[in-house]
Structure 1
Amino acid sequence: MTFRARIDGRQIHCAIGADRPLAAPVFCFSLMAAPKVVSGGALIRRVAGYAEVSLPDLLPGQLHEVVLEYANPDYAPRNRAWLPLGAYLRVGRDCLPLPPGAELGVRPGEAPAAPPLAPDRLPLVPQPTDWAPSGGVVEFATVAPVAGLEGVADLALRLGLAPLVGAGGRALAVSESADLPPDGYRLTIADGGLAVAVGGPAGLHYAGITLLTLRETCGGALPCGVITDRPRFGWRGQHLDCARHFFGVEFILRLLDVMALLKLNRFHWHFADDEAFRLEVETQPLLWQRTAFRGEGELVPGVFGGGIRAGGSYSRAAVARILARARALQIEVLPEIEVPAHSHAMIRAVPGLRDPGDNGEEVSVQGYMDNIVNPAMPATWDLLLPLAREVAGLFPLGMLHLGADEAPPGAWDGSPAVAALKAREGLATSEDVQGWMLARLAAALGEDGVRVAAWEEAAKGCQGGIGNGALLFSWTGQGPGVAAARRGHEVVMCPAQNVYFDLAHSGDPDDWGAAWAGFVSLERTVDWDPVPAGAEDIAPRVAGVQACLWGEVIVQDDQAEAMIAPRILGVATKSWEPKGRTGGAALRALAGVYGPLFDRIGWRRHRGA
């Protein structure tokens, strides 16, 4: 079997070849969004970006061309990630995999020469709050055993680096200082020895990360001086979408290690969406048992490159492993269950979550026609209340992200049950209904001592939206975050234009990634401020910064690595450093320093843009 795909303007040309006679084959594939067929076949099924196209009989050696376009006229293919993914032919009861139509993922290549690092900067990301050099260097390989550095010592070994702690190493004098926050430290590097004052255990851990990193980037010759350091924000996060693509536990553990190397401290675990619910919960086992896998014969077909069959689920043992690794690295884990929209898989798996009398025609932005649960149905609450409590109870953070983004226009407009709910509760719009639903769920969790989080849309609604002290994530830009903060919400800034790593690095058609919010170069990750100019009044309510990696264009775990690196350096910079410390040119120089370190630990990185 042969398969090649190429972009020609708005069109996608697919050439399919058979190695034997095939009668009435069906071409199955997925695109980033809903497709239409221009020529070469007939569309017989479509679910979001997944499609099935009937073809004429194929003969050996014959190349048959199918021409596709995106159904939305605003969508035009931008790079190789916009070509068909997970393609196969169904012939009778057989499924025949097709090779990738183009090379998958970010292509390896030589990095452009990085500018030199300025002499007043340490080869360290994030840069410290203050650096006072005293001249000279100290040869450094290991420190003598110190209680509290076990997590950093284990990290060094897992990353394949030389041991950080060992008998015969340099002594590190540790003291506590009341003038430092719990995660702050003051590290003195001198001929006479190493000393660190800390505000708490986290401060010692971060001092250890600094020592480990400088040993690697300085070639074992630490510059003498005093580093005084503390983070600007308490929330320094990285999100991972494990619903669109099932990432193995080992990848998640490796990601936590890379986060720790850059002093990030929040892992936002997105394991539920339209495509799957992957956590093995006890309150509703059908939820994950029926949706963990997608593809041929499954409840959810092979959307987003799922192909013939793909997926998996996370057991209690897997959760325990991830939490243990995170705890050792001073990282907290935020779980997300994603309601009321982005719930196609949930609706397919659990009966009663939609109003049978609903004659509405809402369509989600990804093309799903039934992806929002109905808050007027008793089954919705029978599922969500125990589910939310169980999931929140598995994670020590004491916080649960409820989702709440991208409710389709016209949601519930055709539901008689919601019409009755509106009349009873004094609600007028779909936003009012969502706000009422989220506030009820948040209040129930609050009784258990669980704080809720949600995407920016949760602030909408006539009753003030979700309320209940929710932490909101501003993703379409910073404007919604500013507005939410001024209404009293605490917010995490994660504007797609700067920190969405599923977006391509550049506009090069040979690059890889989405483009709906533009392209995110390394420089753009620091070309903004979490507290925008003119909105300084919200500073006390900006909890921090988070990067997001959505899984629509990820087919294999390792493809995510070059989407994340080196851009994760920018997120570490914006979430830790004082305002305005590192701009794009300086970050590019630091990326040049970190390139060999990424290579050393075996983490692929984008080398071009």
Structure 2
Amino acid sequence: MIPRPALLNDLSGSCELTSGATVSGDLADAVRLALPTLDLRPGDSGDIDVRRDPALGPEAYRLTTGSRGAEIVAGGRAGAFYAAQSLHQLLPDASYRFSTGAAWPLPGVRIEDAPRFAWRGLHLDVARHFFPKREVLRLIDLMAMHKLNRLHLHLVDDQGWRVESRAYPLLHEVSSHRPRTATNYYKEPDAYDDLPHGGYYSLADLAEIGAYARSRCVTVVPEIDVPGHASAILAAYPALGATGERYDVLDRWGISPAILSPLPPTVEFLTTIFDEVIGALGETPYVHIGGDEVVLDHWAESAEINAYRDSLGLATTNDLQAWFLRRLADALAERGSRAVVWDEAFVSGGLRQDTLVMPWRGMGVGRRAAAAGHDVIATPVFPLYFDYAEAASADEPMAIGDATTVADVAAFAPAPADWAEEERERVIGVQAQLWTERVPDARTVDYRLWPRACALAEVAWSGAAAPDFTGRLREHLGRLDAIGVEYRPLAGPHPWQRRRPHRPSGVQVRDVMDRIDAMTHSAESTRPSV
């Protein structure tokens, strides 16, 4: 079973669970939704009985199975949903395939379980390569199966804007597509495919994604990354930039000097965008506003921006960036959402105390954020950037570098034991990132995420992977096969998953901090090199 429950004891009894079995209780809808292939029916009494116990946490549950069927006691809807996911993993792999009239042996067990971390996340970059709504909904299903509960959607970057705006329609009309895409490996000469790429989610799509996720106990975290990474925005509305010049939607990877202006019209623009995104998604407790890899040169060179900075009583452009991000966080707070930022924004200083920090450059800066009283979601490049290859092999599809293995993910400690207790308590979760510069399609998403995301799920739910994780993972792959997930086999890629052209030797991920230092100078700095 993945993730491994806190307590699992075998019992002597067993029973048979048939397709079309009945489920009863006030949380029965959550169980039915978690077990779609079983086609469960509601009833006054059932083969699966569900009841609520307010003494349990909202995601906690007890599951008992035996000769009388299954009994679930849950603290809330999420607990019942996760209990059903555990119940499903007690059944044969074939139960993950839809079939009518099937009967499955259900062994007797007692499970008592609750998550270690509240935030158990996956990040999907839909800006560099767009993935249509159907792929997002499928990812939500896979997350729910693994008890992951935060879907971080990176909706905008230099290479594309991915959501409809009725207030600023040029965003989806102009900024959602580019004429070509870079195909070169890291630091190779530029090469392009000369194929148009684009797409965006309508507000109706976003509303559906939000509702679908909530029904499966997943919270969508939209990211509007500002003030840098702004080429796509400035392709549509150049007046929002620091210089007023028009940019093209970027067709290559890397960091751009394009930056939004911090002046009031930009704040008004972004608060309008927040209203549209939050209004479409529905309940949106978190909004990510980025703050990473910002090149502040155009701010420093602008007399108008310098005069505005002086009027605010700020000494430096870094202070102005901190003010700008706090102003956006204040606007989000007025709308009932907490701001989330990458760690450069923390280094800039001036954050609202309730802002969550994602330390992508390493847990050292994460510890400093925790010590400063910020809630932290562990997101370090190693081992949680899944755009890195899983092996240092020329057979691996193109990746940014080598290699982050399943074992590396399983060994990760989100709240290190050598931290002070109050610092550990500030780590509220863990999240893996899938940046998609070199992930052009849904099949590659499957390959990059799974089974590393299985290890993530274990660490996020249990706090650490158990010693028997590898053995359980081998059994778990049969479930992924039944669902149709095109994961990377543990022994290496299938022939059709290999990268056919020879690729040059990649960057070693264990040397990744050298590369991060080259991009951002150090975790003390907020300024990247371009």
* Alpha-carbon separation, structure 1, partners of 2:28 and 2:122: 23
C-alpha offsets along residues 191-220 of structure 1, whole Å, 9 cap, x if unaligned? Answer: 233222111121111111111122135984
Partner of 1:320: 207
Any conservation in 2 of the 1:497–1:519 contact (CA below 8 Å)? no
Q: Give, in angstroms, the shift of residue 588 of structure 1.
A: 2.2
CA distance in 1, matches of 2:436, 2:364: 25
Tell me, in whole angstroms, the C-alpha distance in 1 between the residues paired with 2:121 and 2:110.
27
Question: Counting helix residues as a fraction of each chain, which structure ranks higher?
Answer: 2
Matched, 1:348 2:250: no
| Distance across 1 between alignment mates of 2:377 and 2:150 | 11
Give 2:154's match in structure 1, choosing from 267, 270, 284.
270
Which amino acid counterpart does residue 492 of structure 1 have in structure 2?
A: I
Contact 1:294-1:306 within 8 A present in 2 as well = no
Between the aligned partners of 1:192 and 1:384, the Cα distance in structure 2 is 56
Output one character per residue of 1:300-320: Cα deviation in whole Å (capped at 9) or x when no partner: x53467742111111122112
Q: Which has the higher strand share?
A: 1
**Percent of aligned pairs with the same amino acid:** 33
Correspondence for 1:597: 479
Q: In the alignment, which residue of structure 1 is the partner of 2:221?
A: 334
- Report SS of the residue matched to 2:423: helix
Tell me how far apart the structure 1 counterparts of residues 405 and 341 of structure 2 sit (CA, whole Å): 27
Q: Distance in 1 between matches of 2:28 and 2:40?
A: 9
Shift of 1:374: 2.1
Q: Which residue of 2 aligns with 1:224?
A: 108
Which stretch shifts more, 444-453 or 415-424?
Answer: 415-424
Q: 1:559 aligns with which of 444, 465, 473?
A: 444
Gap runs ≥5 in structure 2: 96-103, 184-191, 493-530
Q: Which moved more, 1:163-172 or 1:144-153?
A: 163-172
Task: Please list the CA deviations of residues 320-359 of structure 1 after superposition, one character each: whole Å capped at 9, or x if unmatched.
Answer: 221221122111111111101111111121021233399x
SS state at 1:228 partner: strand
Q: If you compute each CA radius of gyration, which structure gives the higher value, 1 or 2?
A: 1
Letter in 2 for 1:451: R
Instruction: Please state if 1:506 is matched with 2:506.
Output: no
Task: Using the TM superposition, give the Cα deviation of residue 156 of structure 1 relative to its aligned residue in structure 2, in angstroms.
Answer: 4.2
**Residues of 1 paired with 2:286 and 2:193: CA distance?**
31
Within the candidate set 476, 483, 496, 2:368 is matched to 483
* CA distances 1:229-271 after superposition (whole Å, capped 9, x unpaired): 1111111111111111110111111111101111111111111
CA displacement at 1:178 relative to structure 2:
3.7
Question: Does the 8 Å CA contact 1:353/1:374 hold for their aligned counterparts?
Answer: yes
The residue number in structure 2 matching 1:407 is 294
Residue of 408, 413, 419 corresponding to 1:529: 413
1:352/1:379 contact within 8 Å kept: no
Matches within 5 A, 1:158-173: 161-165=37-41, 171-173=47-49
TM-score by length of 1: 0.71
Structure-1 residue corresponding to 2:195: 308
Report the aligned-residue RMSD.
Answer: 2.7
Report the TM-score when normalising by structure 2: 0.82
Provide closer, same or farther for how the CA distance between residues 447 and 509 of structure 1 changes in structure 2, counting only shifts above 3 A.
Answer: same
Give, in angstroms, the shift of residue 169 of structure 1.
10
Q: Which residue of structure 1 aligns with residue 80 of structure 2?
A: 204
- Paired positions, count: 467
Distance in 1 between residues matched to 2:121 and 2:243, nearest whole Å? 40
Letter in 2 for 1:263: K
- Asked if the contact 1:357–1:415 (Cα under 8 Å) also holds between the matched residues in 2, the reply is no
8 Å CA contact 2:62–2:113 kept in 1: the answer is yes
Residue 120 of structure 2: aligned partner: 236
Q: Residue 455 of structure 1 is aligned with which of 339, 342, 345?
A: 342
Question: Residues 45-444 of structure 1 correspond to what in structure 2 (within 5 A)?
Answer: 124-135=1-12, 137-142=14-19, 143-147=21-25, 148-154=27-33, 156-157=35-36, 161-165=37-41, 171-217=47-93, 220-295=104-179, 301-303=180-182, 307-356=194-243, 366-375=253-262, 377-395=263-281, 396-408=283-295, 410=297, 412-444=299-331
- Matched-pair contact (CA < 8 Å) for 1:129–1:229: yes
What secondary structure, in the 3-state scheme, does the structure 2 residue paired with 1:385 have? helix
Rounded to whole Å, the distance in 2 between the matches of 1:495 and 1:381 is: 30
Pairwise CA distance, 1:582: 1.7
